[in-house]
Amino acid sequence: MQPFLSGRPLRLAILDYGLFQVHANGRVIGICGYLIETDAGERVLIDTGFPAKYAEDAEAATAEDGLGSFGRVLSVRPENLPAAQLARLGLTRGDVTLQIVSHTHIDHIGDMAGFAPAPILIAQAERALPRPLYWTGAQPMDWPEAEYRLVTDDLDLGPGFRVLLVPGHAPGQLAFLIELPRTGPVLLTSDAISRAEEIEERFAGSWDAAQAMESGARLMALAEARGATIIFGHSPEQWPKLRKAPEWYE
């Protein structure tokens, strides 16, 4: 597969898509996305948070999707939607040149249809599903019309931007290793490792725990070998400490 990007990652912004509380343990987790800008002016959006209906009426949306069996939305407001988060960076939807879907759970694909004509990079294992995973027992979303670019193995999206196929949490879970000019290597684990403690818990509750453990071990070994800063997918301890848009990691 030919590289999709001509430029190197220049800076990374963490997008704040809101807060969610897991019923089983009371854990409060941040819902995040990422915007990566290259030195060639390319802008890559990773994930789009909850559907907009959660910012309109979270209680009704939760009931409609049956999400209440798992947890509750604490905070998803209009300012937590992708367009508003991009605006904090001085960007619009039209500035996104590539959208990446890390996997197709509800808190990652809410605005997947909102960035045409940008192509969508997604694991083939996810795109092969009849519908996005969304949430157990509820799969109301269709695949949006788009140019899909399918990931079947690790690939270099461009110089200093590696996409890692790390199934386990979901059939086509992706993670990302980028090289920033000042920060150096940054590993975005997404939900392949949602928080550090998940490793000790042996990824209980994953789509495939054995695969998740293998993928998690591979990511941690890669981070150690590269001396990478790790940003986990949903770490309650890490989330408050991360810089959010409009600030950048450079």
Q: What is the mean predicted confidence (pLDDT) over 24-33?
A: 94
At 24 the pLDDT is 83
CA–CA dist 66, 81 (Å, integer): 21
Return the pLDDT at 195: 96
72, two tokens? 């509750």
Amino acid at 135: W
Instruction: Please give the biggest Cα pair distance in the chain.
Output: 46
Residue 66 in this model has a pLDDT that exceeds 60 = yes
CA distances from residue 38 to 2, 140, 161, 178, 182 in whole angstroms, order as listed: 17, 35, 10, 11, 14
Closest CA to 244 of 87, 9, 90, 15: 15
Q: What is the mean pLDDT of residues 162-166?
A: 98
Closest by alpha carbon to 248, among 100, 102, 88, 41?
A: 88
Residue 162: closest CA among 170, 172, 153: 153
**190 and 173 in contact (C-beta within 8 Å)?**
yes
Share of the chain above pLDDT 90, in %: 94
Residue 1: pLDDT above 60?
Answer: no
**What is the CATH number that goes with domain 9-241?**
3.60.15.10
The average pLDDT across 121-145 equals 95
pLDDT band at 3 (very low <50, low <70, confident <90, very high): low
Residue pLDDT, tens place only, 67-82: 999 999 999 999 999 9
Asked whether the predicted pLDDT for residue 57 surpasses 90, the reply is: yes
Query: Residue range 49-64: average pLDDT?
Result: 97
Mean model confidence pLDDT for the chain: 96
pLDDT above 60: residue 2: no
d(CA 203, CA 199): 6
Give the span between the Cα atoms of 174 and 183, in whole angstroms.
Answer: 22
Output the pLDDT for position 137.
78
Kindly state the average pLDDT of the residues 223-233. 98
CA 23/CA 32 separation, integer angstroms = 19
Mind listing the pLDDT tens digit for each residue in 167-206? 999 999 999 999 999 999 999 999 999 999 999 999 998 9
pTM: predicted TM-score of the whole model, two decimal places: 0.97
Residue 136: which pLDDT band, with cuts at 50, 70 and 90? confident
| Beta strand residue intervals within the chain, DSSP E | 9-22, 28-38, 43-46, 71-75, 98-100, 120-123, 148-151, 155-158, 161-165, 174-180, 184-190, 229-232
pLDDT band at residue 127 under the 50/70/90 scheme? very high
